[in-house]
Structure 1
């Protein structure tokens, strides 16, 4: 009897199962984990090491800020990439690795960016400090000359010898523009001061930069500034008991007794805004040149050696710049020969500033051809 009952029970169960189409109870259905959303890959290439304490370091701080603000983005970087053919190879490798946005952070990468961008129209390229664009290539920079002018006021008020040293990388418009803005700031408070320029023809060479600063100190400079990527010139000034003004990032930690302030970059917000626009499909190729009011350029905190009256003078002029009441390259402006290049009340256009190939009055130096 037990066997018959068991057989009948099993038969009923099988018929029921077949009638239901063989479906599994919901509790026993296979549980599939949702696929992890693939992160947007963004890459950066740097002309120097991220530990240079200057240009590449500042860009890498911006990259880290981007990752912090956008967890759905995965970033990577390659440092110490020479300008020229090597950069074309590296850019190509980054695209092949799946990067959809690439930030090329040095002027000399410009032609390589344009070449690679033509081959990969679905990838967006952003080139720092250049002037060539394409449908998938934009340029970006900040009006660092505004911060340079302000640091020039500090230097002009500080110098006792009336000789200020400027260690400069390459004679391109970007660097010449910075030297001119700095000199105009110096001369606005000290018409007798001159800015002596030495070229190194390198972006990153700590030893060469430091030696250039030493030569300027030996020539009588008692304040040193630079358009270079390391704090070598700052350290040279400190070793001689003189003052200095840093560039790219706050260099006071490297030479605390010398650094009065630094003209600094803040790339992070720009990187976040740009990546968001590309993700949302609203990005269009453009030539961004952000002012100080965008906070892409600024001054680092003042060192203890900067007097209060000088701080107030600088802050007042900074406020005029922020409010658009003052423009650095407003005439009258003369060149080294005393010839008037910008008439009184006239403002230089962006095109003119981006093609600077002459020094203002007060610069002691030449522009190599």
Structure 2
């Protein structure tokens, strides 16, 4: 009887332990390059994290570290997350690519998702959005509305993602207005309000009455507002506090559906290493409200362009398009291949200046 009691007690204990293990929440970590209050890139990633919590409730636990520099410190943060029991880690900036790969090798049972990169492994997926599709819409509005024919563009780093956006915006600004010129200032930061504000001021002093940005703060909007007569576009999030002007529209990164889907895959044991690059059609890139500061005909044209891109009827990189040196890149009716776009390291014809090395 005593043996039976012991065995029964052990079985109950084992069952309780198994139940407790089964109920352990899936732990999901997020590594952010900026603060969650940046109003742009990191803000939207954090909104997606909150959407994961809302979707799964107590079945998930999320953690995040914000303002993590790209480089060795990122590797340290990822390592600590993995040691702390994370099942899935989203690393949300291009410069986290090598640190993600390095840490993933040390923790083969942890799943990693790296944003905007191109290096994968059995436990590392890559994902990104076709921001260049939104840049095409912004470019049309910019080219249609500029009175000085000078559009300013604040670049973060001279990587393919940013170069693609500049080219797409320029192509469609030129289609709307053949006289438009782009002036580009490189801020060499994703998030630094002071540097971004200074870049906007320089561009405005050079005659730009439209400012586009591939940096994460709202500082360029404040600079444009103070200058008067300058329009801007939200980057990564709506930046709606500057509506209806200077901010006349925006590109919004909608990461929530992807984050929920990938978290569910980990929970269900179906996660596999994949590469995802979605745009307007899939809803990963959204166009924020085009305000009444934009003329009705321009707004209608921009929305029609958005719909054509979203349906797949039109590709923003459709020939004829030449490279900056005048050599042919895309023939009439030819569209760019993803491989070329992902590695884009050249300006298109008409853009002045050189890409920094």
- After TM superposition, the score normalised by the length of structure 2 is 0.92
Aligned twin of 1:284 = 272
Shift of 1:257: 2.5
Shift of 1:149: 0.3
1:152 to 128, 132, 139: 139
User: Take 1:161 and 1:256, find their aligned partners in 2: how far apart are those partners?
Assistant: 21
Q: Is the CA contact 1:117–1:137 (under 8 Å) kept in the aligned structure 2?
A: yes
The 3-state SS of whatever aligns with 2:281 is helix
1:187-266 correspondence to structure 2 within 5 Å = 187-241=174-228, 242-254=230-242, 256-266=244-254
Q: Is the CA contact 1:225–1:234 (under 8 Å) kept in the aligned structure 2?
A: no
**Bigger Rg over Cα:** 1
Q: Is the CA contact 2:244–2:293 (under 8 Å) kept in the aligned structure 1?
A: no
The 3-state SS of whatever aligns with 2:50 is helix
1:352 to 324, 340, 345: 340
Aligned twin of 1:45 = 31
Q: Is the CA contact 2:243–2:291 (under 8 Å) kept in the aligned structure 1?
A: no
1:269 pairs with 2:282: no
Shift of 1:256: 4.5
User: Take 1:327 and 1:160, find their aligned partners in 2: how far apart are those partners?
Assistant: 27
User: Take 1:73 and 1:292, find their aligned partners in 2: how far apart are those partners?
Assistant: 29
Shift of 1:80: 0.5
Aligned twin of 1:55 = 41
Q: Which runs of 4+ in 1 moved over 3 A?
A: 32-36
The 3-state SS of whatever aligns with 2:235 is strand
Aligned twin of 2:353 = 365
User: Take 1:85 and 1:146, find their aligned partners in 2: how far apart are those partners?
Assistant: 33
Aligned twin of 1:12 = none
Distance 1:89 1:76, change over 3 A: same
Shift of 1:282: 2.0
User: Take 1:240 and 1:342, find their aligned partners in 2: how far apart are those partners?
Assistant: 39
User: Take 1:98 and 1:249, find their aligned partners in 2: how far apart are those partners?
Assistant: 31
User: Take 1:278 and 1:191, find their aligned partners in 2: how far apart are those partners?
Assistant: 50
User: Take 2:124 and 2:175, find their aligned partners in 1: how far apart are those partners?
Assistant: 39
User: Any stretches of 5+ residues in structure 2 without a counterpart?
Assistant: 6-15
268-277 or 34-43: bigger deviation: 34-43
The alignment yields a C-alpha RMSD, in angstroms, of 1.8
1:14-33 correspondence to structure 2 within 5 Å = none
Shift of 1:254: 3.9
Q: Is the CA contact 1:193–1:362 (under 8 Å) kept in the aligned structure 2?
A: no
User: Any stretches of 5+ residues in structure 1 without a counterpart?
Assistant: 1-17, 23-31
The 3-state SS of whatever aligns with 2:128 is strand
Shift of 1:362: 3.0
User: Take 2:85 and 2:274, find their aligned partners in 1: how far apart are those partners?
Assistant: 24
Write the deviation string for residues 232-282 of structure 1: whole angstroms up to 9, x where unpaired: 111111111111112110113046430010111001011001111222222
User: Take 1:245 and 1:65, find their aligned partners in 2: how far apart are those partners?
Assistant: 25
The 3-state SS of whatever aligns with 1:70 is helix
The 3-state SS of whatever aligns with 1:87 is helix
User: Take 2:351 and 2:198, find their aligned partners in 1: how far apart are those partners?
Assistant: 20
User: Take 1:285 and 1:314, find their aligned partners in 2: how far apart are those partners?
Assistant: 36
1:332 pairs with 2:307: no
The 3-state SS of whatever aligns with 1:294 is coil
Write the deviation string for residues 178-211 of structure 1: whole angstroms up to 9, x where unpaired: 1011111111211110111100111111000110
User: Take 2:114 and 2:320, find their aligned partners in 1: how far apart are those partners?
Assistant: 33
1:166 pairs with 2:153: yes
User: Take 1:216 and 1:302, find their aligned partners in 2: how far apart are those partners?
Assistant: 23
